[in-house]
Amino acid sequence: MGGHTVEEIKKEVRVYITVFVSLLVLSIATVLVSKLDVSMTVAVIIGMAIASLKGTLVACYFMHLISEKKAIYAVLIITVLFFAVLMALPLMDYQSNEAFTGRA
């Protein structure tokens, strides 16, 4: 997060406003898209894709991750790894159910 001279900070403010407007547009998009008559799988993919895009914008610009120090990235890489494991846990249960009962 550079931005120490007044000029640089003013430039950053413009970025924040752009991100803010994008987030509002994407929020409305997420509500509108949810009204579409698509299958659950497609709805989940679209919904989570928009949420991830919004999350990335917040993390990169509001939380300054776009230009952060290596130590922070190191912490976050480990976090992402363990988060992925957490999300994979239900999948394991799903497979073991299948093995025991022969059905999903």
Partner 1 sequence: MSAPVIRYIDEPHPVTGVTNGKFGLWLFLASEVMLFGALFSSYILLRVGAKSWPDGWERLNVPLATANTVVLITSSVTMVMAWVGCKLNDLGKFRFYMGITVALSFVFLVIKTIEYKPKFEHYQVYFYDGATIPGYEELTTITGHLEEDDFEKDYIVFAPDKKQPSQTLPDAEGHGDHDHAEGDHDDHGHGHYADPIQINRYDIKRLTNFGPAHSNFYAIYFTMTGLHGLHVIGGIVVNLYFLLFGAGMFRSNIAQFSNRIECAGLYWHFVDLVWIFLFPSIYLL
Q: How far is the CB of 76 from partner 1 (least distance, A)?
A: 7
Among 6, 14, 102, 103, binds partner 1 (CB under 8 A): 6
Between CA 13 and CA 37 the distance in angstroms is 39
The answer to whether residue 9 forms part of the interface with partner 1 (CB under 8 A) is yes
Among 11, 38, 63, 66, binds partner 1 (CB under 8 A): 63
Between CA 54 and CA 27 the distance in angstroms is 8
The answer to whether residue 12 forms part of the interface with partner 1 (CB under 8 A) is yes
- Ramachandran region of residue 36, left (φ > 0), alpha (ψ -120 to 50) or beta? beta
